[in-house]
A and B are shown apart, each in its own frame.
Chain A
Amino acid sequence: MKLSDVVSSMHLPVFAELPLLLFMGVFLGVALHLVGRRDELAAMSTLPLRDDARARSERP
Chain B
Amino acid sequence: MSTEVEKFNYDDAVVRKFAFATAVWGVVATLAGLWLALMLVMPSLSFGLPQLTFGRLRPLHTNAAIFAFAGNAVFAAVYYSSQRLLKARMFSDKLSNFHFWGWQAIIVAAALTLPFGITQSKEYAELEWPIDIAIAVVWVVFAINFFGTIARRRERHIYVAIWFYMATVITVAILHIVNNLALPVSATKSYSLYAGVQDAFIQWWYGHNAVAFFLTTPFLGLMYYFLPKAANRPVFSYRLSILHFWSLVFIYIWAGPHHLHYTALPEWASTLGMLFSVMLWMPSWGGMINGLLTLRGAWNRVSEDPVLKFFVVGVTFYGMATFEGPLLSIKSVNALSHYTDWTIAHVHSGALGWNGFMTFGMLYWLAPRIFQAKLWSKKLAELHFWFGTFGILLYIVAIYAAGVTQGLMWRAFDATGRLAYPDFVETVVRIIPMYWVRVLGGSLFVTGMVMGLINIVMTWRGRPQTYAEVSDEAPALGPYNGFTPKLVVPRYSQMTATGHAFVYFVKAQWHRVWERNPLKFALWAAAAVIVASAFEMVPTFLIRSNVPTIASVKPYTPLELVGRDIYVAEGCYNCHSQMIRPIRSETERYGEYSKPGEFIYDRPFQWGSRRIGPDLQRIGGKYPDLWHVRHMEDPRSTTPQSIMPAYAWLEKTELDFSSVQKRVDAMAMLGVPYGDAVLHGERMAHAQSVEIAERIASQGGPKHLENKQIVALVAYLQRLGTDIKHQGS
- Which chain A residues have a beta carbon within 8 Å of chain B's beta carbons? 3-4, 7-8, 12, 15-16, 18-20, 23-24, 26-27, 29-38, 40-42, 44-49, 51-52, 54
User: In the docked arrangement, what's the CA distance between A37 and B238, Å?
Assistant: 10
CB-based contact B242/A42 at 8 Å: no
Size bracket, chain B contacts: 35 or more
Partner of A16, one of B155, B233, B247, B272: B272
The verdict on B251 contacting chain A, using a C-beta distance below 8 Å, is yes
Contact present for A27 and B159 (CB under 8 Å)? no
Chain B binding surface, main DSSP class: helix
A27 touches B507 (CB 8 A): no
Q: Chain B residues near A45: list those with CB within 8 A.
A: 228, 234-235, 237-238, 241
- What is the chain A residue whose CB lies nearest that of B161? A48
Which residues from chain B contact A33 at a C-beta distance below 8 Å?
A: 505-508, 511
Partner of B543, one of A4, A24, A41, A44: A4
Cβ–Cβ contact A7 & B235, under 8 A: no
B542 touches A8 (CB 8 A): yes
Contact assessment for A7 and B542 in the assembled complex, using a CB-CB cutoff below 8 Å: yes
Complex CA gap A33/B229 in Å reads 28
Interface residues of B in 528-579 (CB under 8 A from A): 531-532, 535, 538-539, 541-545
Contact (Cβ within 8 A) B234 A7: no
Q: Is the CB of A8 within 8 A of B159?
A: no
CB of B228 within 8 A of CB of A48, answer yes
Least CB distance, B117 to chain A, in whole angstroms = 35
**Complex: A16 Cα to B229 Cα, angstroms:** 43
Please indicate the chain A residues that have their CB under 8 angstroms from the CB of B531 in the complex.
19
**CB < 8 Å neighbour of A4 from B84, B157, B232, B542:** B542
**Given A4-B542, A48-B224, A48-B225, list of 18 further CB < 8 A pairs?**
A16-B271, A16-B535, A19-B254, A19-B535, A27-B246, A30-B243, A32-B505, A33-B508, A41-B239, A42-B234, A44-B159, A44-B160, A45-B238, A47-B157, A47-B159, A48-B159, A51-B84, A51-B472
Contact of A26 with B506 in the complex, beta carbons under 8 Å: no
Interface of A is mostly: helix
- Determine if A31 and B243 form an interchain contact, defined as CB atoms under 8 angstroms apart: yes
Nearest neighbor of A55 in chain B, beta-carbon distance: B472
In the complex, B275 has a CB within 8 A of chain A: yes
Check: B85 CB closer than 8 A to any chain A CB: yes
Which residues in A have their C-beta under 8 angstroms from that of B544? 4, 8
B583 to A: closest C-beta gap in Å: 23
Does B268 have its Cβ within 8 Å of any Cβ on chain A? yes
Q: Once the chains are docked, how many angstroms separate the CA of A24 from the CA of B280?
A: 12
Q: Which residues of A contact B84 (CB under 8 A)?
A: 48, 51
- Residue B81 at the chain A interface, CB threshold 8 Å: yes
Check A34 against B242 for contact (C-beta < 8 Å): yes
How far does the Cβ of B222 sit from chain A's closest Cβ, in whole Å?
11
> Inside 8 A of B674's CB, which chain A residues have their CB?
none
Q: Are A52 and B229 in contact (CB under 8 A)?
A: yes
Residue in chain A with minimal CB distance to B546:
A8
Cα distance, A8 to B85, chains bound together (Å):
50
A56 to chain B, nearest CB (A): 10
Closest chain A CB from B301 CB (angstroms): 15
Contacts of B271 in A (CB 8 A): 16
- Contact B538 A7, beta carbon cutoff 8 Å: yes
Residues in A with CB closer than 8 Å to B511 are 30, 33
Contact check, A35 vs B506: say whether CB atoms are below 8 A apart: yes
Contact A44 B247 (CB under 8 A): no
Is B250 on the interface with A (CB-CB < 8 A)? yes
- A53 (CB) vs chain B CBs: closest residue: B232
CA distance A16 to B273 in the complex (A): 10
Q: In the bound complex, do residue A20 and residue B157 qualify as a contact, i.e. CB atoms below 8 Å apart?
A: no
Contact pattern, B 261-274, Cβ under 8 Å of A = 1, otherwise 0: 00000001101100
Are B250 and A42 neighbours in the complex by a CB distance under 8 Å? no
| CB closest chain-A residue, reference B247 | A27
* 19 interchain pairs, CB-CB under 8 A: A4-B544, A8-B543, A8-B544, A16-B539, A19-B254, A24-B279, A31-B243, A32-B505, A33-B508, A34-B243, A37-B239, A44-B238, A45-B241, A46-B234, A47-B159, A49-B234, A52-B229, A52-B232, A54-B472
Q: Flag if B251 contacts A23 (CB, 8 Å).
A: yes
Contact B272 A49 (CB under 8 A): no
Q: Which residues of B contact A46 (CB under 8 A)?
A: 234
Roughly how many angstroms separate A12 CA and B543 CA in the complex, as a whole number? 9
Cα distance, A47 to B221, chains bound together (Å): 13
Q: Is the CB of B539 within 8 A of A12?
A: yes
The smallest beta-carbon distance between B177 and chain A, in angstroms, is 22
Q: In the complex, which residue of chain A has the Cβ closest to the Cβ of B227? A: A48
> Separation in Å of the B237 CB from the closest CB of chain A?
8
Does A48 lie within 8 Å of B229, measured CB to CB?
Answer: yes
For A37, the chain B residues whose CB sits under 8 A away are 239
Name the A residues within 8 Å of B472 (CB-CB).
Answer: 51, 54
Instruction: Please report the C-alpha to C-alpha distance between residue A8 and residue B531 in the assembled complex, in whole angstroms.
Output: 20
User: Residue-by-residue, is B518-536 near A (CB-CB < 8 Å gives 1, otherwise 0)?
Assistant: 0000000000000110010
* B242 close to A30 (CB less than 8 A): yes
Cα(A38)–Cα(B272), bound, Å? 35
Per the bound structure, the CA–CA distance linking A48 and B159 in Å amounts to: 8
Cα distance, A45 to B157, chains bound together (Å): 11
Task: Give A34 to B233 CA distance when docked, in angstroms.
Answer: 21
The A-contacting residues of B in range 268-321, CB under 8 angstroms, are 268-269, 271-272, 275-276, 279
State the Cβ distance, A55 to closest chain B Cβ, in Å: 10
Bound: A36/B539 CA distance, A: 41
CB neighbours (8 Å) of A54 from chain B are 472
> Considering only CB atoms, which chain B residue lies closest to A7 in the complex?
B542
Task: Say how far B528's CB is from chain A's closest CB, in angstroms.
Answer: 8
For B81, the chain A residues whose CB sits under 8 A away are 48
Residues of B within 8 A of A51 (CB): 84, 472
Residue in A4, A23, A41, A47 whose CB lies within 8 Å of B85: A47
Q: Identify which of A3, A38, A41 contacts B542 (C-beta below 8 A).
A: A3
Cα–Cα, bound, A44→B228 (Å): 13
Q: How far is the CB of B275 from chain A (nearest CB, A)?
A: 6
Closest to B241 in A: A45
Interface residues of B in 94-152 (CB under 8 A from A): none
